Amino acid sequence: MPELRVPDLNHVIIVGNLTNDPLYSETQSGIPVVNFYIASNKRFKDRNGQVKEDVCFVGVVAWDNLAVSCRDNLSKGSTILVTGELQSRKLHSDNGYRNIVEIKARKIQFLDYLNKSSISDAYISSELSDSDYDENSYY
């Protein structure tokens, strides 16, 4: 009997607002990278009919031209749609290592710009392959 394989699927789509200005840097080899957090809100009614809101804070990392576009066009409060994949990495801190899970952005749509420009101008993507950068080199 052939072995069943689970498909490789790691795809994230999320809308949120930047909680701070993007943090821009470059790797030792000069590849641009930007990090930021977004707040994604979910509104719902509880059993009593009261409107409640949950907020999920998610880290996002973008590379190369996408990082430069984020640096130049985004600031605290900007609304964006991120398409990408989850990645985890270990971050060294004073208390040892801790595991970080964040979104590695492949495409970012700047939603604040939809009223100001065409959708094609507001939709920026990154075509880097995983081999184009070292995921842990920007910290």
**Domain extent listing, the chain:** 12-128
Mean pLDDT of the chain: 85
pLDDT band with cut points at 50, 70 and 90 for residue 125: low
pTM for the model stands at 0.77
Average pLDDT over residues 103-111: 96
Tell me the two tokens of residue 41: 């809100």
pLDDT band with cut points at 50, 70 and 90 for residue 2: confident
d(CA 62, CA 73): 13
Per-residue pLDDT at 139: 32
Q: What torsion, rounded to 10 degrees, do the Cα atoms 16, 13, 86, 31 define?
A: -70
Q: Which of 58, 76, 74 is nearest to 13 (CA)?
A: 58
pLDDT band with cut points at 50, 70 and 90 for residue 136: very low
Q: What is the pLDDT of residues 72-93, one digit of tens each?
A: 999 999 999 999 999 999 988 8
For the domain covering 12-128, report its CATH number: 2.40.50.140
